[in-house]
Chain A
Amino acid sequence: MTASPLLRLIARRVLVALGTLWLVSLAVFATSLLIEGDVAEAILGQSATPQALAGLRAAMHLDQPAWARYLVWLGGMMRGDPGHSLITGTPVAALIGARLGNSLALAGITALISVPVALTLGIVAAVKRGTMFDRAIGLVTIAVVSVPEFLIATLAVMLFAVTLHWAPALSSMRDVESPLALARMYALPVFSLACVVIAQMLRMTRAAVIDVLDSSYAEAARLKGVSPARLVLRHALPNAIGPIANAVALSLSTLLGGVIVVEIIFNYPGVARLMVDAVATRDIPLVLGVAMIFSASYLLLVTTADVVAILSNPRLGHR
């Protein structure tokens, strides 16, 4: 019986996430209506006659009212079919599928490097609060957090690619022949993304752990003669899991925005660049598809963090 209220809580959280996703789909679709010009103009160019434009629009069902187009699109999304590209006619799913792996690899590698580094340094900084180490960490992270990704990426290109020639300035999949070349290709995009993610995650982790170390029960543990390592691992961390999971999710979600900037700067063939190109050609089904992927990833991260926080709360787990 103990599990049922817990499951109900988690189920409710997941339902809220799905509801949010639906609201997002409305917002995304509404926003797409605000993009000036349409695909017919993009295809036919400025010299197109009104008749030709109208004909093309009718052929693409663009003459139907917005709500009808929304329902058709939403119905397709529910069946897992986000429609066809208006430019090439290829299914959107296929277009995204070809690129999604690349983007996931970029985000995944960044996460794999960022999470352990940020958590370790964050916890160590919290334990050594007030020391030179902690102050140095504080200074560096605040500096990094205040610099946007595009600037970090540009500076990294200037330093490592242009001046030092350690890594290529553009990411092209074609000339990757050895693992070393692959690592060199990923080095700068991952570095640019990881800087901000690590700095944010580190600061939030440090704050969460300090909060727990300042509690009465941490003092009580110290007065039992508990060693610093045991204090952190056994007494502090189990209580900091919820806040840390949230810090990780929030920081990783900023990856989603960062990926767009970084893919453009390094000409990396991921979904974000696909989206930017689709906006340029007013290929709305493709724009919508990618936007929904980003939104769903964000909700997945935040919901996972909430579920972890629920599971790690002994008041909910042991009634």
Chain B
Amino acid sequence: MIALVQIEGLRIVARGEDGAEFPIVHDVSLSVAAGEVLALIGESGSGKTTIALAMLGYARAGCRIAAGAITVAGQRLDGLGEPALRALRGRTVAYVAQSAAAAFNPALPIMAQVIEPALIHGVMTRPAAEAKARALFAKLALPDPDHVGDRYPHQVSGGQLQRLMAAMALMTDPALVIFDEPTTALDVTTQIEVLMAFKAVVRDLGTTAVYVSHDLPVVAQIADRIVVLRHGAVQEEGTTQAILHAPAHEYSQALVAAAAPRAPAPPVDLPALDVGEPPLLELRQVVAGYGRVDGDGLPATRIVDAIDLKILRGQVVGVIGESGCGKSTLARVVAGLHPPASGYVNLCGVPLSGAVATRTRDQLRRIQLVFQSADTALNPANSVAQALGRPLTFFHGLRGRALRAEVARLLDLVRLPAALAERLPGELSGGQKQRVNLARALAARPELLLCDEVTSALDPVVAEQVLDLLIELRRELGLAYMFITHDLNIVRAIADEVIVLKGGQIVEQAPGAALSAPPHHPYTELLMASVPSLRCGWLEDAAAVIGTRAARR
């Protein structure tokens, strides 16, 4: 079999701030056979996207293809001039970007963008291109394929844009399509639909594809062969079945282990409640939203709608749902960042003010919020010691030697070396930053932590470690968590009680252990089926669940 893509000794360098070049891809060699789907898998910074872009002869700003031979469909790309590369991009090799919502031009209608590759490469006339685009829309199971092209990107959902981008890539019947994390930004249920559409179209058209992802279960459903990357070098290469069932390299084994369903953590005995003691946190008929307020004082758009919820001292309550279900807003209401329109938020039986500005310092101390992205939650100009010192001084009046000792204790608590205290966030890895983010919340010595998707921005192996840390901390400190996530696997591992949120309302509330056994609300079932699994055929089963749901409607 002749390889469609042949890469030999690829080396890509980036230019640092001091002007010196350092390698980000070292001596990578790989090949893709015609008609094959090859997955490049690895954590962020592993060089997977950089290698995939090299197959278009493209390096991002500040990077440069320094050495190596790249051959695609019999053409050497390294050393080719810009005009020749332009003729190849979008014609011989096409690209599906990670976030189609960002990769579609907001100022142009979708159809104009989808047929653009066919027009600029002179493959077909405009009417022929539009007809082909509509056929592809239908093939990718897009609703209303005849008119969806007339819309603008902001008028179409993220999952649909991702499929429209695939249609754009397939317009010129390219020899190779590169999918760059095409479902990472999507909800789990949307991911199923998009993956099914991609899989069907790749199979029907016999497309050769390179699929870049950090998500092993997703890759397992679509790829024939997997290349495992780390630190810009190939760690292991093999067929999907071989990597899944007999991973040889240590890192591949960690990836497979991270993707396997977690056993629930052993239950924690909650401190006994005194008779008549109120729960730590109680929400009663909480409504929050935005827009015009009607006669009953309720907002026009309700993000959180009549929520009743109790969290006991030391209890972990998982809140699960898709984007837009109101789960983050719920945390913001409890934290006082989004005053509710009606209802009560009680802390140990005492009603809390809706706005953070009018809460007492002690109330603020007892509830702490951990943000999803440590990258944006930590001030890049402040060292770790400064970030942790702020709440220590504010809540506990610590200064000088006592402050330094407490910072060291907090770092130890989140399993970070004390030497990290003087570093800036930019000098830390993603997992380390999230631990600092967590330590900052712990600095207040809270009783309730609001964890908003704290692991979802992390690479799978790192996310597992942070989750383990959270489980240990809860045992050590007796903390209660409101644990917000879209990932049922994580909630199962940590939560004593789970609430499922949809459209701002609770559709199901159950003990964490009961989640594995039916019966469930249909929406819960849908979420459960959508959790990616390494099992071959999981995708088809999940699609079947979604299909029957759609049929029932």
Contacts and interface: CB of A to CB of B under 8 A. Distances in A.
B443 interface: no
A166 interface: no
Nearest to B104: A217
Contacts of A19: none
Contact of A238 (B60, B87, B103, B107): B107
B90 A225 contact: yes
B112 to A, nearest CB: 9
A239 B90 contact: no
B106 A239 contact: yes
A8 interface: no
Contacts of A217: 102-106
A214 B62 CA distance: 12
A221 B91 CA distance: 13
Nearest to B85: A225
Nearest to A218: B105
Contacts of B104: 217, 220
Nearest to B154: A315
Interface in B445-503: none
Specify which of A219, A224, A235, A319 lies most central, judged by the most chain B CB atoms within 10 Å of its CB: A224
A238 B107 CA distance: 6
B90 A216 contact: no
A230 interface: yes
Contact of B117 (A215, A225, A315): A225
A216 B165 CA distance: 13
Interface string A226-253: 1100100011001100000000000000
B105 A239 contact: yes
A314 interface: yes
A227 B103 contact: no
B523 interface: no
A224 B172 CA distance: 10
Nearest to A214: B61
A112 interface: no
B332 to A, nearest CB: 25
A223 interface: yes
Interface residues of B, number: 33
Nearest to B87: A225
Given A238-B107, A239-B106, A314-B107, A224 B97 contact: no
A79 interface: no
Contact of A223 (B56, B99, B154): B56
Specify which of B85, B105, B120, B121 lies most central, judged by the most chain A CB atoms within 10 Å of its CB: B105
A96 B53 CA distance: 63
A223 B95 contact: yes
A227 B83 CA distance: 8
Specify which of B86, B107, B165 lies most central, judged by the most chain A CB atoms within 10 Å of its CB: B107
Interface in B114-134: 116-117, 120-121
A224 B117 contact: yes
Given A220-B97, A314-B154, A226 B103 contact: no
Contacts of B251: none
A179 B91 CA distance: 56
What is the predominant secondary structure among interface residues of chain A facing chain B? helix
B120 A224 contact: yes
B86 to A, nearest CB: 5
B416 interface: no
A216 to B, nearest CB: 4
A156 B513 CA distance: 83
Interface in A182-224: 214-217, 219-224
A216 B103 contact: yes
B421 to A, nearest CB: 35
A318 B154 CA distance: 9
A225 B552 CA distance: 44
Interface in B382-399: none
Contacts of B107: 238-239, 312, 314
B88 interface: yes
A315 B154 CA distance: 7
Contacts of B106: 217, 239, 314-315
Given A216-B102, A314-B154, A222 B108 contact: no
A219 B53 CA distance: 11
Nearest to A234: B108
A223 B91 contact: no
Contacts of B165: 220
Interface in A279-319: 312, 314-315, 318-319
A315 B58 CA distance: 31
B89 A222 contact: yes
Contacts of B53: 223
Nearest to B107: A238
Specify which of A220, A226, A318, A319 lies most central, judged by the most chain B CB atoms within 10 Å of its CB: A220
Given A225-B117, A226-B120, A314-B152, A235 B89 contact: no
B301 interface: no
Interface string B152-178: 101100000000010010000000000
A40 B535 CA distance: 96
A235 B105 CA distance: 7
A187 to B, nearest CB: 40
Nearest to B100: A220
A234 B112 CA distance: 11
A227 B86 contact: yes
Contacts of A314: 106-107, 152, 154
A225 B88 contact: yes
A225 B108 contact: no
B522 to A, nearest CB: 32
B105 A225 contact: no
A224 B116 CA distance: 8
Nearest to B165: A220
B86 A225 contact: yes
A44 B61 CA distance: 72
A216 B99 contact: yes
Going nearest first, the 6 A-B pairs with the smallest beta carbon separation are A224-B90, A216-B102, A238-B107, A225-B90, A225-B89, A220-B103
23 contacts: A216-B97, A216-B103, A219-B97, A220-B95, A220-B104, A221-B105, A222-B58, A222-B89, A223-B56, A223-B90, A223-B97, A224-B89, A224-B94, A224-B95, A224-B117, A225-B85, A225-B90, A226-B90, A227-B120, A230-B120, A239-B107, A314-B107, A315-B154
Interface of B: 53, 56, 58, 60-61, 85-91, 94-95, 97, 99, 102-108, 116-117, 120-121, 151-152, 154-155, 165, 168
Given A219-B97, A221-B105, A238-B105, 13 more contacts: A216-B102, A224-B94, A224-B168, A225-B87, A225-B89, A225-B91, A226-B86, A227-B86, A227-B120, A230-B120, A239-B106, A318-B151, A319-B155
